[in-house]
Structure 1
Amino acid sequence: MEHAKPLPSLLVQRYHGWKATTFTENKSWYRRLADEGQRPKTMIISCCDSRVHVTGIFGADQGEFFIHRNIANLVPPYQPDGQQHGTSAALEYAVTALKVAHVVIMGHSKCGGVQGCLDMCSGHAPELEEESSFVGRWMDLLRPGYDRVKDIQGYEAQRDALEKEAVLVSLENLMTFPFVKDAVEAENLSLHGLWHDIGNGSVEQYLPDQKAFRAI
Protein backbone atom coordinates (compact mmCIF):
# COMPACT_ATOMS: atom_id res chain seq x y z
CA MET A 1 0.00 0.00 0.00
CA GLU A 2 2.05 2.89 -1.33
CA HIS A 3 -0.15 5.51 0.35
CA ALA A 4 0.72 4.43 3.91
CA LYS A 5 3.25 6.64 5.68
CA PRO A 6 5.34 6.33 8.86
CA LEU A 7 3.66 7.34 12.11
CA PRO A 8 4.08 11.03 13.08
CA SER A 9 7.04 11.54 15.41
CA LEU A 10 4.82 12.92 18.19
CA LEU A 11 2.87 9.65 18.36
CA VAL A 12 6.08 7.62 18.23
CA GLN A 13 7.44 9.61 21.17
CA ARG A 14 4.23 9.12 23.12
CA TYR A 15 4.31 5.40 22.47
CA HIS A 16 7.87 5.08 23.77
CA GLY A 17 6.91 7.12 26.83
CA TRP A 18 3.99 4.78 27.55
CA LYS A 19 6.11 1.66 26.98
CA ALA A 20 8.81 2.94 29.36
CA THR A 21 6.40 3.94 32.15
CA THR A 22 2.83 2.63 32.23
CA PHE A 23 3.57 -0.64 30.46
CA THR A 24 6.80 -1.36 32.30
CA GLU A 25 5.23 -0.62 35.68
CA ASN A 26 2.30 -2.97 34.94
CA LYS A 27 4.02 -5.59 32.81
CA SER A 28 2.58 -8.56 34.71
CA TRP A 29 -0.97 -7.22 34.29
CA TYR A 30 -0.56 -6.84 30.54
CA ARG A 31 0.93 -10.34 30.32
CA ARG A 32 -2.05 -11.72 32.21
CA LEU A 33 -4.45 -9.95 29.83
CA ALA A 34 -2.59 -11.39 26.87
CA ASP A 35 -2.45 -14.93 28.24
CA GLU A 36 -5.91 -15.21 29.81
CA GLY A 37 -7.92 -13.14 27.34
CA GLN A 38 -10.49 -10.46 28.03
CA ARG A 39 -13.40 -10.80 30.44
CA PRO A 40 -15.13 -7.42 30.42
CA LYS A 41 -18.39 -7.16 32.31
CA THR A 42 -19.53 -4.03 30.50
CA MET A 43 -19.93 -3.00 26.89
CA ILE A 44 -20.04 0.74 26.28
CA ILE A 45 -21.35 2.19 23.04
CA SER A 46 -20.21 5.79 22.86
CA CYS A 47 -19.61 8.50 20.29
CA CYS A 48 -16.44 8.79 18.20
CA ASP A 49 -16.06 12.33 19.57
CA SER A 50 -12.48 12.73 20.81
CA ARG A 51 -13.71 14.61 23.88
CA VAL A 52 -15.60 11.59 25.24
CA HIS A 53 -13.14 9.44 27.19
CA VAL A 54 -15.19 6.72 28.84
CA THR A 55 -12.31 4.85 30.48
CA GLY A 56 -11.16 8.09 32.07
CA ILE A 57 -14.66 9.03 33.28
CA PHE A 58 -15.09 5.70 35.05
CA GLY A 59 -11.46 5.14 36.02
CA ALA A 60 -11.34 1.87 34.08
CA ASP A 61 -8.24 -0.18 33.42
CA GLN A 62 -7.43 -2.25 30.34
CA GLY A 63 -9.69 -5.27 30.10
CA GLU A 64 -12.64 -3.76 32.00
CA PHE A 65 -14.72 -2.29 29.16
CA PHE A 66 -15.57 -3.62 25.73
CA ILE A 67 -15.93 -0.33 23.85
CA HIS A 68 -17.57 0.38 20.52
CA ARG A 69 -17.63 3.92 19.15
CA ASN A 70 -19.60 5.36 16.27
CA ILE A 71 -21.11 8.66 15.19
CA ALA A 72 -23.65 9.78 17.82
CA ASN A 73 -23.50 6.50 19.81
CA LEU A 74 -26.29 4.93 17.78
CA VAL A 75 -27.45 1.32 17.66
CA PRO A 76 -29.30 0.34 14.48
CA PRO A 77 -32.30 -1.99 14.62
CA TYR A 78 -31.77 -5.72 14.11
CA GLN A 79 -31.40 -6.25 10.38
CA PRO A 80 -29.77 -9.53 9.27
CA ASP A 81 -29.62 -8.66 5.56
CA GLY A 82 -26.18 -9.99 4.72
CA GLN A 83 -24.65 -6.52 4.65
CA GLN A 84 -21.78 -5.26 6.80
CA HIS A 85 -22.92 -4.02 10.20
CA GLY A 86 -20.06 -3.00 12.49
CA THR A 87 -22.13 -1.94 15.48
CA SER A 88 -24.37 -5.00 15.30
CA ALA A 89 -21.33 -7.28 15.02
CA ALA A 90 -19.68 -5.68 18.06
CA LEU A 91 -22.92 -6.05 20.01
CA GLU A 92 -23.34 -9.69 19.03
CA TYR A 93 -19.78 -10.50 20.08
CA ALA A 94 -20.13 -8.70 23.40
CA VAL A 95 -23.40 -10.37 24.35
CA THR A 96 -23.01 -13.87 22.92
CA ALA A 97 -19.25 -14.48 23.17
CA LEU A 98 -18.03 -12.26 26.00
CA LYS A 99 -21.28 -12.60 27.98
CA VAL A 100 -21.16 -9.01 29.24
CA ALA A 101 -23.55 -8.21 32.08
CA HIS A 102 -24.18 -4.60 31.06
CA VAL A 103 -24.59 -2.65 27.84
CA VAL A 104 -24.27 1.11 28.30
CA ILE A 105 -25.25 3.70 25.70
CA MET A 106 -23.41 6.94 26.43
CA GLY A 107 -24.45 10.14 24.70
CA HIS A 108 -22.90 13.54 25.27
CA SER A 109 -23.30 17.29 24.97
CA LYS A 110 -22.46 19.30 21.83
CA CYS A 111 -22.57 16.17 19.67
CA GLY A 112 -21.71 16.99 16.05
CA GLY A 113 -23.50 13.94 14.70
CA VAL A 114 -26.71 14.84 16.49
CA GLN A 115 -26.40 18.43 15.29
CA GLY A 116 -26.01 17.11 11.75
CA CYS A 117 -29.18 15.06 12.13
CA LEU A 118 -31.05 18.09 13.43
CA ASP A 119 -29.87 20.22 10.52
CA MET A 120 -30.63 17.49 7.98
CA CYS A 121 -34.11 16.73 9.28
CA SER A 122 -35.00 20.42 9.44
CA GLY A 123 -33.89 20.98 5.85
CA HIS A 124 -30.69 22.92 6.57
CA ALA A 125 -28.10 20.33 5.51
CA PRO A 126 -28.95 19.18 1.97
CA GLU A 127 -25.49 17.63 1.61
CA LEU A 128 -26.45 15.07 4.26
CA GLU A 129 -29.58 14.17 2.29
CA GLU A 130 -27.42 12.91 -0.58
CA GLU A 131 -27.46 9.13 -0.95
CA SER A 132 -23.66 9.26 -1.09
CA SER A 133 -23.41 10.71 2.42
CA PHE A 134 -22.39 7.99 4.86
CA VAL A 135 -23.03 10.35 7.78
CA GLY A 136 -26.47 11.28 6.52
CA ARG A 137 -27.58 7.70 5.98
CA TRP A 138 -26.24 6.75 9.41
CA MET A 139 -28.07 9.65 11.04
CA ASP A 140 -31.32 8.45 9.43
CA LEU A 141 -31.37 6.11 12.43
CA LEU A 142 -32.14 9.13 14.61
CA ARG A 143 -35.09 10.43 12.58
CA PRO A 144 -37.62 8.86 15.02
CA GLY A 145 -35.95 10.86 17.79
CA TYR A 146 -36.15 14.04 15.74
CA ASP A 147 -39.88 13.51 15.26
CA ARG A 148 -40.23 13.55 19.05
CA VAL A 149 -38.34 16.83 19.56
CA LYS A 150 -39.15 18.84 16.42
CA ASP A 151 -41.81 20.92 18.16
CA ILE A 152 -39.46 22.07 20.95
CA GLN A 153 -38.77 25.78 20.66
CA GLY A 154 -35.18 26.91 20.12
CA TYR A 155 -32.31 25.29 18.23
CA GLU A 156 -30.12 24.56 21.26
CA ALA A 157 -33.04 23.12 23.22
CA GLN A 158 -33.89 20.86 20.28
CA ARG A 159 -30.27 19.73 19.96
CA ASP A 160 -29.97 19.00 23.67
CA ALA A 161 -33.18 16.98 23.60
CA LEU A 162 -32.09 15.11 20.47
CA GLU A 163 -28.81 14.13 22.13
CA LYS A 164 -30.80 12.27 24.75
CA GLU A 165 -33.14 10.87 22.13
CA ALA A 166 -30.07 9.31 20.52
CA VAL A 167 -29.62 7.33 23.72
CA LEU A 168 -33.29 6.36 23.90
CA VAL A 169 -33.51 5.34 20.23
CA SER A 170 -30.47 3.13 20.76
CA LEU A 171 -31.98 1.54 23.85
CA GLU A 172 -35.16 0.84 21.90
CA ASN A 173 -33.20 -0.68 19.01
CA LEU A 174 -31.15 -2.87 21.35
CA MET A 175 -34.28 -4.78 22.27
CA THR A 176 -34.93 -5.67 18.61
CA PHE A 177 -31.89 -8.00 18.71
CA PRO A 178 -33.12 -11.47 19.73
CA PHE A 179 -29.95 -12.31 21.66
CA VAL A 180 -30.18 -9.03 23.60
CA LYS A 181 -33.89 -9.48 24.33
CA ASP A 182 -33.35 -13.07 25.49
CA ALA A 183 -30.46 -12.08 27.78
CA VAL A 184 -32.41 -9.16 29.27
CA GLU A 185 -35.50 -11.29 29.90
CA ALA A 186 -33.32 -13.98 31.51
CA GLU A 187 -31.85 -11.24 33.73
CA ASN A 188 -28.36 -11.99 32.47
CA LEU A 189 -28.01 -8.56 30.87
CA SER A 190 -29.03 -5.05 31.84
CA LEU A 191 -29.24 -2.01 29.58
CA HIS A 192 -28.29 1.51 30.66
CA GLY A 193 -28.62 4.96 29.08
CA LEU A 194 -26.25 7.78 30.01
CA TRP A 195 -25.66 11.35 28.87
CA HIS A 196 -22.41 13.17 29.63
CA ASP A 197 -21.97 16.95 29.80
CA ILE A 198 -18.44 17.53 28.54
CA GLY A 199 -18.23 21.06 29.92
CA ASN A 200 -19.11 20.40 33.56
CA GLY A 201 -18.24 16.70 33.84
CA SER A 202 -21.69 15.58 34.93
CA VAL A 203 -23.26 12.27 33.91
CA GLU A 204 -27.00 11.66 33.84
CA GLN A 205 -28.73 8.28 33.64
CA TYR A 206 -32.10 7.49 32.14
CA LEU A 207 -34.67 6.35 34.70
CA PRO A 208 -37.59 4.59 33.00
CA ASP A 209 -39.96 5.04 35.94
CA GLN A 210 -39.48 8.82 35.70
CA LYS A 211 -39.12 8.89 31.91
CA ALA A 212 -36.26 11.31 32.40
CA PHE A 213 -32.49 11.64 32.72
CA ARG A 214 -31.25 12.33 36.23
CA ALA A 215 -27.77 13.07 37.60
CA ILE A 216 -25.90 10.10 39.03
Structure 2
Amino acid sequence: MPSYLVSRYQGWHATSYAENRAWYRRLAEEGQRPRSMIIACCDSRVHVTSMFGADQGEFFIHRNIANLVPEFTPDGDHHGTSAAIEYAVKNLKVAHLIVLGHSSCGGVAGCHAMCAGEAPELEEKSSFVGTWLNLLRPGYERVLELPAEQQIVALEREAVKVSLENLMTFPFVREALDADRMTLHGLRHDIGEGTLEQYDSDSDQFELI
Protein backbone atom coordinates (compact mmCIF):
# COMPACT_ATOMS: atom_id res chain seq x y z
CA MET A 1 0.00 0.00 0.00
CA PRO A 2 1.22 3.57 -0.67
CA SER A 3 2.49 5.03 2.59
CA TYR A 4 0.26 8.11 2.36
CA LEU A 5 -2.84 5.89 2.25
CA VAL A 6 -1.66 3.88 5.24
CA SER A 7 -1.06 7.12 7.15
CA ARG A 8 -4.49 8.49 6.28
CA TYR A 9 -6.19 5.24 7.28
CA GLN A 10 -4.41 5.18 10.62
CA GLY A 11 -5.42 8.79 11.24
CA TRP A 12 -9.05 8.02 10.40
CA HIS A 13 -9.10 4.94 12.61
CA ALA A 14 -7.63 6.87 15.54
CA THR A 15 -10.05 9.80 15.21
CA SER A 16 -13.28 9.48 13.19
CA TYR A 17 -13.69 5.77 13.78
CA ALA A 18 -12.69 5.88 17.43
CA GLU A 19 -15.11 8.71 18.13
CA ASN A 20 -17.99 6.92 16.38
CA ARG A 21 -17.21 3.28 17.15
CA ALA A 22 -20.72 2.54 18.42
CA TRP A 23 -22.27 3.86 15.18
CA TYR A 24 -19.97 1.77 12.99
CA ARG A 25 -20.71 -1.35 15.03
CA ARG A 26 -24.42 -0.67 14.73
CA LEU A 27 -24.07 -0.40 10.95
CA ALA A 28 -22.16 -3.67 10.88
CA GLU A 29 -24.69 -5.51 13.04
CA GLU A 30 -27.94 -4.10 11.73
CA GLY A 31 -27.04 -3.77 8.04
CA GLN A 32 -27.46 -0.80 5.75
CA ARG A 33 -30.62 1.25 5.35
CA PRO A 34 -29.68 3.97 2.85
CA ARG A 35 -32.36 6.50 2.04
CA SER A 36 -31.03 7.22 -1.44
CA MET A 37 -29.23 5.56 -4.30
CA ILE A 38 -26.95 7.84 -6.31
CA ILE A 39 -25.70 6.87 -9.76
CA ALA A 40 -22.64 9.02 -10.36
CA CYS A 41 -19.61 9.18 -12.64
CA CYS A 42 -16.32 7.50 -11.75
CA ASP A 43 -14.61 10.91 -11.99
CA SER A 44 -12.43 11.44 -8.91
CA ARG A 45 -13.46 15.11 -8.71
CA VAL A 46 -17.09 14.26 -7.96
CA HIS A 47 -17.13 13.79 -4.17
CA VAL A 48 -20.70 12.66 -3.63
CA THR A 49 -20.71 12.19 0.14
CA SER A 50 -18.85 15.45 0.76
CA MET A 51 -21.18 17.43 -1.49
CA PHE A 52 -24.26 16.36 0.46
CA GLY A 53 -22.60 16.10 3.88
CA ALA A 54 -23.54 12.42 4.06
CA ASP A 55 -22.61 10.00 6.83
CA GLN A 56 -21.79 6.31 6.48
CA GLY A 57 -24.87 4.29 5.66
CA GLU A 58 -26.83 7.17 4.13
CA PHE A 59 -26.16 6.66 0.40
CA PHE A 60 -26.03 3.55 -1.76
CA ILE A 61 -23.63 4.75 -4.48
CA HIS A 62 -22.98 3.23 -7.88
CA ARG A 63 -20.35 4.84 -10.12
CA ASN A 64 -19.58 4.25 -13.78
CA ILE A 65 -18.18 6.20 -16.71
CA ALA A 66 -20.47 9.16 -17.51
CA ASN A 67 -23.13 8.13 -14.94
CA LEU A 68 -25.01 6.09 -17.53
CA VAL A 69 -27.88 3.63 -17.09
CA PRO A 70 -28.62 1.06 -19.82
CA GLU A 71 -32.12 0.11 -20.83
CA PHE A 72 -33.75 -2.80 -19.02
CA THR A 73 -32.33 -5.83 -20.82
CA PRO A 74 -32.60 -9.07 -18.80
CA ASP A 75 -30.26 -10.96 -21.14
CA GLY A 76 -28.03 -8.03 -22.06
CA ASP A 77 -24.39 -7.26 -21.32
CA HIS A 78 -24.73 -4.31 -18.91
CA HIS A 79 -25.40 -6.28 -15.74
CA GLY A 80 -23.29 -4.33 -13.22
CA THR A 81 -25.31 -1.12 -13.21
CA SER A 82 -28.61 -2.94 -13.63
CA ALA A 83 -27.80 -5.26 -10.72
CA ALA A 84 -27.00 -2.29 -8.46
CA ILE A 85 -30.29 -0.62 -9.36
CA GLU A 86 -32.26 -3.82 -8.78
CA TYR A 87 -30.67 -4.34 -5.38
CA ALA A 88 -31.24 -0.74 -4.30
CA VAL A 89 -34.89 -0.67 -5.35
CA LYS A 90 -36.04 -4.20 -4.53
CA ASN A 91 -33.89 -5.12 -1.55
CA LEU A 92 -32.85 -1.87 0.10
CA LYS A 93 -36.09 -0.12 -0.90
CA VAL A 94 -34.44 3.28 -1.26
CA ALA A 95 -36.77 6.27 -1.12
CA HIS A 96 -34.88 8.32 -3.69
CA LEU A 97 -33.03 7.37 -6.88
CA ILE A 98 -30.69 10.08 -8.15
CA VAL A 99 -28.60 10.36 -11.33
CA LEU A 100 -25.73 12.79 -10.84
CA GLY A 101 -23.84 14.14 -13.86
CA HIS A 102 -21.09 16.73 -13.86
CA SER A 103 -19.11 19.30 -15.84
CA SER A 104 -15.89 18.51 -17.75
CA CYS A 105 -16.87 14.84 -17.99
CA GLY A 106 -14.25 12.90 -19.91
CA GLY A 107 -16.71 10.14 -20.72
CA VAL A 108 -19.19 12.57 -22.26
CA ALA A 109 -16.41 14.25 -24.25
CA GLY A 110 -15.26 10.82 -25.41
CA CYS A 111 -18.77 9.93 -26.56
CA HIS A 112 -19.01 13.19 -28.48
CA ALA A 113 -15.68 12.53 -30.18
CA MET A 114 -16.61 8.91 -30.97
CA CYS A 115 -20.01 9.79 -32.41
CA ALA A 116 -18.41 12.58 -34.48
CA GLY A 117 -15.95 10.09 -35.96
CA GLU A 118 -12.98 11.66 -34.20
CA ALA A 119 -12.13 8.77 -31.88
CA PRO A 120 -11.89 5.59 -33.99
CA GLU A 121 -10.20 3.72 -31.13
CA LEU A 122 -13.46 3.92 -29.18
CA GLU A 123 -15.35 2.38 -32.08
CA GLU A 124 -13.23 -0.77 -31.95
CA LYS A 125 -15.21 -3.79 -30.79
CA SER A 126 -12.49 -4.42 -28.23
CA SER A 127 -13.08 -1.07 -26.52
CA PHE A 128 -15.09 -1.51 -23.33
CA VAL A 129 -15.27 2.27 -22.95
CA GLY A 130 -16.60 2.81 -26.46
CA THR A 131 -19.22 0.09 -26.09
CA TRP A 132 -20.38 1.63 -22.82
CA LEU A 133 -20.47 5.19 -24.19
CA ASN A 134 -22.70 4.01 -27.03
CA LEU A 135 -25.50 4.18 -24.48
CA LEU A 136 -25.28 7.96 -24.82
CA ARG A 137 -25.52 8.04 -28.62
CA PRO A 138 -29.26 8.99 -28.55
CA GLY A 139 -28.28 12.04 -26.49
CA TYR A 140 -25.60 12.97 -29.01
CA GLU A 141 -28.20 12.93 -31.78
CA ARG A 142 -30.29 15.42 -29.79
CA VAL A 143 -27.51 18.02 -29.43
CA LEU A 144 -26.33 18.07 -33.05
CA GLU A 145 -28.38 21.12 -33.97
CA LEU A 146 -26.74 23.25 -31.28
CA PRO A 147 -23.66 25.41 -31.96
CA ALA A 148 -20.49 23.35 -31.64
CA GLU A 149 -19.32 25.19 -28.51
CA GLN A 150 -22.54 24.31 -26.67
CA GLN A 151 -22.71 20.63 -27.53
CA ILE A 152 -20.48 19.17 -24.81
CA VAL A 153 -22.30 20.85 -21.91
CA ALA A 154 -25.62 19.93 -23.49
CA LEU A 155 -24.46 16.34 -23.83
CA GLU A 156 -23.52 16.27 -20.13
CA ARG A 157 -27.13 17.10 -19.38
CA GLU A 158 -28.29 14.54 -21.94
CA ALA A 159 -26.28 11.88 -20.08
CA VAL A 160 -28.51 12.51 -17.10
CA LYS A 161 -31.68 12.56 -19.20
CA VAL A 162 -30.82 9.37 -21.10
CA SER A 163 -30.21 7.61 -17.80
CA LEU A 164 -33.52 8.84 -16.38
CA GLU A 165 -35.30 7.64 -19.53
CA ASN A 166 -33.64 4.24 -19.34
CA LEU A 167 -34.46 3.89 -15.64
CA MET A 168 -38.12 4.11 -16.59
CA THR A 169 -37.73 0.92 -18.66
CA PHE A 170 -37.06 -1.09 -15.47
CA PRO A 171 -40.41 -2.56 -14.35
CA PHE A 172 -39.49 -2.48 -10.64
CA VAL A 173 -38.42 1.18 -10.89
CA ARG A 174 -41.67 2.16 -12.55
CA GLU A 175 -43.65 0.11 -10.02
CA ALA A 176 -41.95 1.85 -7.07
CA LEU A 177 -42.58 5.26 -8.62
CA ASP A 178 -46.23 4.50 -9.38
CA ALA A 179 -46.76 3.33 -5.81
CA ASP A 180 -45.15 6.52 -4.43
CA ARG A 181 -42.52 4.41 -2.66
CA MET A 182 -39.66 6.18 -4.43
CA THR A 183 -38.83 9.43 -6.23
CA LEU A 184 -36.54 9.92 -9.24
CA HIS A 185 -34.18 12.87 -9.75
CA GLY A 186 -31.58 14.09 -12.24
CA LEU A 187 -28.76 16.45 -11.25
CA ARG A 188 -25.70 18.03 -12.88
CA HIS A 189 -22.83 19.35 -10.78
CA ASP A 190 -20.48 22.09 -12.02
CA ILE A 191 -17.14 21.19 -10.45
CA GLY A 192 -15.49 24.58 -10.86
CA GLU A 193 -18.45 26.65 -9.71
CA GLY A 194 -19.68 24.25 -7.07
CA THR A 195 -23.24 24.59 -8.34
CA LEU A 196 -25.93 21.97 -8.72
CA GLU A 197 -28.69 21.86 -11.33
CA GLN A 198 -31.85 19.78 -11.13
CA TYR A 199 -33.72 18.46 -14.13
CA ASP A 200 -37.36 19.52 -14.42
CA SER A 201 -39.22 17.07 -16.63
CA ASP A 202 -42.17 19.44 -17.10
CA SER A 203 -40.03 22.18 -18.65
CA ASP A 204 -37.34 19.80 -19.96
CA GLN A 205 -34.77 22.15 -18.43
CA PHE A 206 -32.04 22.04 -15.81
CA GLU A 207 -32.51 24.66 -13.08
CA LEU A 208 -30.05 25.78 -10.40
CA ILE A 209 -30.82 24.57 -6.91
- Structure 1: distance between partners of 2:207 and 2:88: 27
**Which position in structure 1 is the counterpart of 2:30?**
36
Q: CA-to-partner distance for each residue in 1:9-29, whole Å, 9 max, x for gaps?
A: 111111111101110011111
**Which position in structure 2 is the counterpart of 1:144?**
138
Aligned residue pairs, count: 209
Q: Which of 166, 170, 194 is residue 201 of structure 1 equivalent to?
A: 194
State how 1:124-203 maps to structure 2 within 5 Å. 124-155=118-149, 157-203=150-196
Q: Secondary structure at the residue paired with 1:94?
A: helix
- Structure 1: distance between partners of 2:162 and 2:53: 27
Give TM-score scaled by structure 1 length. Answer: 0.95
CA displacement at 1:211 relative to structure 2? 1.1
Q: Which of 195, 204, 208 is residue 211 of structure 1 equivalent to?
A: 204
Q: CA-to-partner distance for each residue in 1:190-212, whole Å, 9 max, x for gaps?
A: 10000000001000000112210
The one-letter code matched in structure 2 to 1:85 is H
State how 1:76-115 maps to structure 2 within 5 Å. 76-81=70-75, 83=77, 85-115=79-109
Q: Which of 9, 12, 17 is residue 3 of structure 2 equivalent to?
A: 9
Say what the alpha-carbon RMSD is for the aligned residues: 0.9
- Structure 1 ranges of 4+ moved more than 3 A: none
Distance 1:84 1:74, change over 3 A: closer
The one-letter code matched in structure 2 to 1:32 is R
**Which position in structure 2 is the counterpart of 1:47?**
41
Unaligned runs of 5+ in 2: none
Unaligned runs of 5+ in 1: 1-6
- Structure 2: distance between partners of 1:77 and 1:69: 17
Q: Secondary structure at the residue paired with 2:56?
A: coil
Give TM-score scaled by structure 2 length. Answer: 0.98
